[in-house]
Chains A and B, each alone.
Chain A
Amino acid sequence: MHPLGLYISVPFCRSKCTYCNFASGVFPASYMERYIGRLSEDLQSAAAFTPANTLDSIYLGGGTPSLLPPQLFTTLFRTIRDQFEVLQAAEITVECAPGQLPDDTLQAMLECGVNRISFGVQSFIDQEARATGRLHTRAVALADLRRVQQAGIARVNADLIAGLPYQTEQSWLESLQVLCETQVDHASIYMLEVDDDSRLGKEVLNGGARYFAPTVPSEDAVAEMYLSAIETLASAGWQQYEISNFARNRAESRHNKKYWQREPYLGLGVDAHSLLRNPDGAAVRFATTDDLEGYLQSPAWYDRRTLTQQEELEEAWFLGLRLNSGVSLRKLEAEFGTAAIAAFRSVINELLEDGLLLESNGSIQLTPHGRLLSNNVFERFLLSGVSA
């Protein structure tokens, strides 16, 4: 049985960034203890219904998990280890905001076995970071990256976002350059999502002037930034392994890859998502509420759904293609049968012709152009129009 990944969301932030479209926010400190209490209950009940009880990755995402007081870290990890067997080689990641990681918290993390930290840097240009409500400067971020590695956290990730207010091609290259000069071994390169779910996105859509929306680079400029990130990082010795993820020295995130390889993971906390498999092998997805008050008041699972064979096949395509290694036709045939895969041949050929896909060594991969238009590609792998 495949070991599980465990995702725990910690929705607390010191301030809400303008681009943020997550279920996180600023809440009273008293909520943290209640929250960890609720998580402990969930860990116990989840341990009873998950088929595998070994974990090979734990990921605390946010929000800003580094805001949890040291003793709550200790409590949380004690419960995790009480309920699950955490493998010796498990990847244990905590997301932190630069400048918001006190020494005693870092110490507690190390004692809990945390071996990977992900920093939400977003930009090494102070004006850009400030404009979106980030509370740190380049100096603070660089100091933190060094500090955690010196303290013994070997693996460190930095997030960068292309498409922030005030960003230019030049300032973007500067951020990338600074990134390359650090010792971090992993980087996530995101593009600003302009949609109704964030304050900044909404403002851009409505043509408003708040949150420095008028200085947000155009979609086309962001596309260029993405391509230049791929180029810059490649020439600095990084390997891209997923649409948004890059690693040095093979330091790919095990947890991250679980999502794309459809390996089982359990998500706990507010707005967390799970994929488990039934005894018969069928994938089951479910989620928790995205409302913190609701979460604290009543434990409940939402959107529980056993995937059909067809949905699993669709996911195998639109998740698997996100990885640079692509989708292995042989593996797919083994899982779904030759006929099911043959049905996609004409779509694949068309996309190969359009230069969005390439085929190499029996696997289908996105081209760099295809990555930028990946939603256009993925859509073609949906067999049905709508699922219930």
Chain B
Amino acid sequence: MDSKLIRNFAIIAHIDHGKSTLSDRLLELTGALTAREMQAQVLDAMDLERERGITIKAHAVRMMYPAKDGQTYQLNLIDTPGHVDFSYEVSRSLASCEGALLVVDASQGVEAQTLANAYLAINHGLEIIPVINKIDLPSADIPRTREMVEQTVGLDGNDAIPVSAKTGQGVPDILEAIVHRLPPPKGDPGAPLQALIFDSWFDAYRGVIVLARVVNGTLRKGAKIRLMSNGRVFNVESMGVLTPKPVEINELSAGEVGFFVATIKNVSDTKIGDTVTEDDRPADAPLPGFEDIKPMVFAGLYTVDSHEHTLLRDALEKLRLNDSSFFFEPESSAALGFGFRCGFLGLLHMEIIQERLEREFNLDLITTAPSVRYKVTMTDGTLLEVDNPSRWPDPSEIEQVEEPIITATILTNEEYVGGILKLVEEKRGRQKNFEYVSPTRVMLTYELPLNEIVLDFYDRLKSVSRGYASLDYHLSGTWISPMVKMDILVSGEPVDALSIIVHRDHAYERGRALVSKMRELIPRQQFEVAIQAAIGAKIVARETVSALRKNVLAKCYGGDISRKRKLLEKQKEGKKRMKRIGKVDIPQEAFLAVLKVGEESSR
């Protein structure tokens, strides 16, 4: 296809601002799918997934659009993940496009995540088309939203297209704007092949499926390709595009987007951001921007039932087939037995993995408090990287500790600034910038320890701003900080899986909050249970779960023994989901109590 008739674009939107509705509407308008087919398609896909266990992801959809100028254009919509944990993936998706739709809710305005991605897109040289969505709502304020686009993103607000993805109003204007305002891809179809990998997944029947954007050269079926980061060579067996139904084709030339299958067995070989070239005629250099992404958040995963340990390993291996961005290695805990130390891109990523393990593999899991990776310089000059509190060295041998720092951008309404400032101060933040982006919107830029973010920052931010604050962040270096290990003792015995690393000056306060939360989460037992927080030998906080006094069924109505049995069985099932440490049954959520200390007490 003549590259002048190709447009590659992404949609940038805050969660709930209407990205998927808009995508559906574009598919419908270009005839990729009719409204009825769209439903049928979704159903087909689900049946297929159910029957054959294939994961079908439409992460890049090709649409053919007959524009008003009489020409038919090939529009490739490239999806982007919508969470800060996946900002690298977002950046690679954006690098595959020449333009982006920036979708802003006509009542809510621009959010931090959207803004961060919009800046990312501008930095990648993308042409941006602002779209004001949800204009059908009574609360829509188009002039104000135009103003905000201008003030916060720095784009001409008059260029914004008002639409309602829900009713379809204005959507045809978007298609015309894509054709006329976005540039066609550049690139030389005759040059040595350079294709950017922006997504890949494992299919049980076909192996790894790779989504790529050809930047230069032509990718052909049967070609011998080389992945430039690791030098591995594969044969392209088949290739195609998603319309969103998969359609086989024989080649993709410069500017085009599609998928290929090449007997790749391991998804970790196809790293996002890597460059695909031809083995016979390799490109001189890979495309810029490749990073080997590293996990930022670490936690221990254990099964409640220690016999399920090998099931957990199998499940983790299966999940890794599809997600090479988390890692795991065996670890063991005195309290929890054998488990795995896992690294994640962020807290959401951790939650997703945890939920998939529980849902898809039916495992009952205990997750330990998330931690970050510290650089510890020992007095003898050696350097350690520690992400597991139970591996924390003896304090007398520590020279200094460096903790990872992020730069956070928080966008909020003026009235919540006070509460947010208090929160970021409490979280040891240092202000970098304070700016009114509109008369009522404030953008705060702070440096914060990552450690504080993974503990309970999101939920606290949400509650102090009543949900009207959005957050974006990126890693930006380290601070030297006096970090110490805080142990939690249950009935006098330290439980290694409950230890956390905290800033020395905040240890007392955090210890108190933590044991008080644990007191709420640990049910009363046969005996009084003492919960203590300790730094070294020093107890900094203590709470007591008083002994259970009464658990008895007195009445037996008409000899109903079945009811008694059911009650006992239910009680026993409940205990199974707890971990018995010594003589104390600890529920799963108590191991993550540190994430919940900011929540309101329920007792």
Query: Which A residues are within 8 Å of any B CB, using their own CB?
Result: 7, 9, 22, 61, 189-191, 193, 219-220, 222-224, 226, 243-244, 258-259, 265, 267, 271-275, 285, 287, 303, 305, 314-315, 318-319, 354, 356, 371-376, 378-379, 382, 385-387
Contact = CB atoms under 8 A, between A and B. Distances in A.
Interface centre among A223, A224, A275, A378 (most CB of B within 10 A): A378
Interface string B512-543: 00000000000000110000000000000000
A372 B552 contact: yes
A385 B577 CA distance: 12
A382 B569 contact: yes
B554 A243 contact: yes
Given A379-B575, A385-B572, A386-B569, A374 B561 contact: no
Contacts of A314: 565
Given A273-B558, A376-B526, A379-B572, A318 B552 contact: no
A275 B576 CA distance: 30
Contacts of B554: 189-191, 193, 243-244
A344 to B, nearest CB: 15
A378 B552 CA distance: 10
A354 B568 contact: no
Contacts of A375: 551-553, 567-568, 571
B57 interface: no
A84 to B, nearest CB: 17
Contact of A220 (B550, B564, B575, B576): B550
30 contacts: A9-B558, A61-B557, A190-B554, A191-B554, A193-B554, A220-B549, A222-B550, A223-B550, A224-B549, A243-B554, A259-B556, A265-B559, A271-B560, A272-B559, A287-B562, A315-B565, A318-B565, A319-B561, A371-B552, A373-B549, A374-B551, A374-B553, A375-B551, A375-B552, A375-B553, A376-B526, A379-B572, A379-B575, A385-B573, A387-B569
Contacts of A219: 549-550
By DSSP majority rule, is chain B's interface helix, strand, loop, or mixed? helix
Contacts of A354: 526-527
A318 B556 CA distance: 13
A354 B552 CA distance: 17
B555 interface: yes
A220 B556 CA distance: 22
Nearest to A372: B550
Contacts of B559: 7, 258-259, 265, 267, 272-275
B569 A372 contact: no
Contacts of A244: 554-555
A221 to B, nearest CB: 9
Bin the interface of chain B by size. Answer: 20 to 34
B548 interface: yes
B556 A226 contact: no
Contacts of B571: 375, 379
Contacts of B552: 191, 243, 371-375
A315 B550 contact: no
A201 to B, nearest CB: 12
Nearest to B575: A379
B558 A272 contact: yes
A285 B564 CA distance: 13
A376 B574 CA distance: 12
A258 B557 CA distance: 13
Q: Which label, helix, strand, loop or mixed, suits the secondary structure of the A interface?
A: mixed
Contacts of A372: 549-552
Given A223-B550, A259-B561, A387-B569, 13 more contacts: A190-B555, A220-B549, A267-B559, A271-B560, A272-B559, A273-B559, A273-B561, A318-B564, A354-B526, A356-B526, A375-B567, A376-B551, A379-B572
A189 B552 CA distance: 12
A374 B554 CA distance: 10
Contacts of A193: 553-555
Given A378-B568, A385-B569, A385-B576, A275 B555 contact: no
Given A354-B526, A385-B573, A385-B576, A7 B558 contact: yes
Nearest to A5: B559
Contacts of A373: 526, 548-552
Contacts of B553: 193, 374-375
B550 A191 contact: yes
Contacts of A274: 559
The residue in B558, B562, B564, B572 that gathers the most chain A C-beta atoms within 10 A of its C-beta is B558
Contacts of A258: 559
Nearest to B552: A374
Contact of B557 (A265, A271, A356, A387): A271
A17 B569 CA distance: 29
Contacts of B565: 314-315, 318, 387
B263 to A, nearest CB: 45
A272 B561 CA distance: 11
B564 to A, nearest CB: 7
A265 B571 CA distance: 27
Interface in B331-349: none
Interface in B448-482: none
Nearest to B566: A387
B561 A223 contact: no
B526 A267 contact: no
A345 B548 CA distance: 25
A224 B571 CA distance: 23
A305 B566 CA distance: 14
A135 B560 CA distance: 27
Contacts of A371: 552
Nearest to B573: A385
Given A219-B550, A226-B550, A267 B558 contact: yes
B307 to A, nearest CB: 13
Contacts of A386: 569, 573
Contacts of A189: 554
A244 B553 CA distance: 9
Contacts of A61: 557-558
Contact of A318 (B548, B557, B568): B568
A378 B551 CA distance: 11
Contacts of A287: 560, 562
Contacts of A190: 554-555
A258 B559 CA distance: 9
A382 B574 CA distance: 14
A378 B570 CA distance: 12
Nearest to A356: B526
A61 B550 CA distance: 27
A162 B281 CA distance: 88
B206 to A, nearest CB: 40
A189 B554 CA distance: 8
A320 to B, nearest CB: 12
Nearest to B560: A273
Closest 6 CB pairs of A and B: A223-B549, A223-B550, A190-B554, A375-B551, A244-B554, A273-B559
